[in-house]
Structure 1
Amino acid sequence: MEWLFAGLGLLILLLAGDLLVRGAVNLALRLGIPALIVSLTIVAFGTSAPELLISIKAILDNAPGLALGNVVGSNTANILLVLGVPAIISRLHTARCDTRKSYVVMLMVSVGFVALCFLGP
């Protein structure tokens, strides 16, 4: 019975992911903005919501290590698996856009996060 639920959950996840991507592309087309902007905001928040809720629950249960591990592990898996596996399967084609400012902001946030981890509150 557990295998049936796992398979059903995977099927629902695949269908929901497809609907999310199609909806994000349609939203970008309707608003006339690049799909990258929509994916960096709406899709990113939607896919990160479970981690956010788990981290909030961990903090409320006085388990800060669980919250931190959840965030770091989720981000590591997202970077390595969600971007890496499709890149291995097929070449990734992206529209040319200037992301240098985004890289600087991401680098500053990452350095700040590491500093907070080592220095503590």
Structure 2
Amino acid sequence: MNTYLGLAIGLALLLGGGEALVRGSVAVAARLGVSPLLIGLTLVGFGTSTPELVASLDAALRGSPAVAFGNVVGSNILNIVGILGLAAVILPAAVAL
């Protein structure tokens, strides 16, 4: 199979699966009476954490706990710095010199 064709098929399946997951999750949560804000926050939280979980589990199962540890530490550092940076862009702190 051509590499680009495989990549295109994989991307299409990824997008389709993600769309189905989000639509299904929202439908179930809406039937249970969960607020749209909570639905969105939960989906974003799980969506951003799942790749890190899979990478850490894979590394641990392959006998590389240092990779799993580095994944967790690096992810937390990036999240903290990203939030602080975004906050600084939105509302810069005034500093007197």
Q: TM-score normalized by structure 2?
A: 0.56
Q: Aligned equivalents of 1:6 and 1:77: distance in 2?
A: 28
Q: Identity of counterpart residues, as a percentage?
A: 51
Match of 2:9 in 1: 8
Q: Residues 58 and 66 of structure 1 are in contact (CA less than 8 Å); yes or no, is this contact kept in structure 2?
A: yes
Which residues of 2 match residues 1-121 of structure 1 at below 5 A?
A: 1-41=2-42, 44-45=45-46, 48-72=49-73
Larger radius of gyration: 2
Q: Aligned equivalents of 1:4 and 1:27: distance in 2?
A: 34
Shift of 1:76: 7.4
Greater RCO, 1 or 2 (C-alpha within 8 Å, sep 6+): 2
Q: Aligned equivalents of 1:11 and 1:32: distance in 2?
A: 32
**Residue correspondences, number:** 79
Q: Residues 59 and 67 of structure 2 are in contact (CA less than 8 Å); yes or no, is this contact kept in structure 1?
A: yes
Q: Aligned equivalents of 2:39 and 2:48: distance in 1?
A: 13
Unaligned ranges ≥5, structure 2 = 81-97
Q: Aligned equivalents of 2:50 and 2:70: distance in 1?
A: 16
Match of 1:32, SS state, is: coil
Q: TM-score normalized by structure 1?
A: 0.48
Q: Aligned equivalents of 1:18 and 1:78: distance in 2?
A: 25
Unaligned ranges ≥5, structure 1 = 80-121
Shift of 1:78: 8.2
Q: Aligned equivalents of 1:2 and 1:73: distance in 2?
A: 31
**Superposition RMSD on alpha carbons, in Å?**
3.1
Q: Aligned equivalents of 2:14 and 2:79: distance in 1?
A: 16
